[in-house]
Amino acid sequence: MTIAKLVLMLVCLMSVTLEPKDAKVTPLLSESEWTSRMLGRPVIKTFNNITSNRILYKGLRKGAKSRIALPVSGDDGRAKEVVITLLDSLGFDGIDAGSLLESWRYQPGTPAYCSDPTSIELSALLVKADRQKAPKNRDQAMKLVAKLPPDYPPQDLVQVARLSAGLDILKPKSWFALLRLGFTALRPTRT
């Protein structure tokens, strides 16, 4: 494991502990803006719309057709450039997704969340995001995911996310992933 991947894993773990569970996050203040204010430091947001498995194993060479694009948001343009360069070295395309205020566009419940989009797909998904629908979509997805066994394949969840985002509609693999998800979620849990 490279140092960069280790650092990224630590950042992902830290972000889980910094979630504003009891904070007053308003529609005018995103979670990332809240975190930046609480830390008293600028925040550059990336990696929240990709699973840890994909970070470790799905980086591809620059120019690869299916190279995953990750949005990068923040209020410091120079820092965003550094993060985009780091993403490139890890095998991902970093796309400037605007300020922290706009970072809700790839939160859970939006089309860009965990759908492993390419650069072209990501730009369209960020525009397609609906701030009003995102919380309901997120809550429905979390109820479904809570019913899944811990060893449920992450690649199946990505396939379903791509399908629900309007990507891969003509790919049978995505539809089979959706069927598997449905059958797994409907299966009675063992106690």
- What angle do helix axes 154-164 and 172-186 make, rounded to 10 degrees? 110
With respect to residue 31, please indicate whether it lies within any of the assigned structural domains.
yes
Structural domain total, the chain:
1
**How high is the pLDDT of residue 26?**
54
- Looking up tokens 């550059």 gives 44
pLDDT tens digits, one per residue of 78-132: 999 999 999 999 999 999 999 999 999 999 999 999 999 999 999 999 999 999 9
* Encoded tokens for 46: 């990336």
Domain that holds residue 165: 3-186
With respect to residue 191, please indicate whether it lies within any of the assigned structural domains.
no
More confident residue, 182 or 85: 85
The confidence band for 42, taking pLDDT boundaries of 50, 70 and 90, is: confident
User: What share of the chain has pLDDT > 70, as a percent?
Assistant: 84
> Which positions ≥6 away from 47 have C-beta within 8 Å?
8, 11, 12, 15, 55, 70
**How high is the pLDDT of residue 177?**
87
The confidence band for 4, taking pLDDT boundaries of 50, 70 and 90, is: very low
Q: Is 104 in contact with 134 (CB distance < 8 Å)?
A: yes
What's the predicted TM-score (pTM) here?
A: 0.79
**How high is the pLDDT of residue 164?**
87
Q: Is 127 in contact with 168 (CB distance < 8 Å)?
A: no
pLDDT for residue 13 is more than 70: no
3-state secondary structure of 156: helix
Q: Is 131 in contact with 125 (CB distance < 8 Å)?
A: no
With respect to residue 171, please indicate whether it lies within any of the assigned structural domains.
yes
- Rounded to the nearest 5°, which phi and psi values hold at 93? -90, 120
**How high is the pLDDT of residue 94?**
97
Q: Which H or E run contains 154?
A: helix 154-164
- State the Cα–Cα distance between residues 134 and 125, nearest whole angstrom: 13
3-state secondary structure of 70: strand
- The secondary structure of 85-106 as a DSSP string is HHHHHHT-EEEE---GGGGGGG
pLDDT for residue 24 is more than 80: no
DSSP conformation class of 188: P
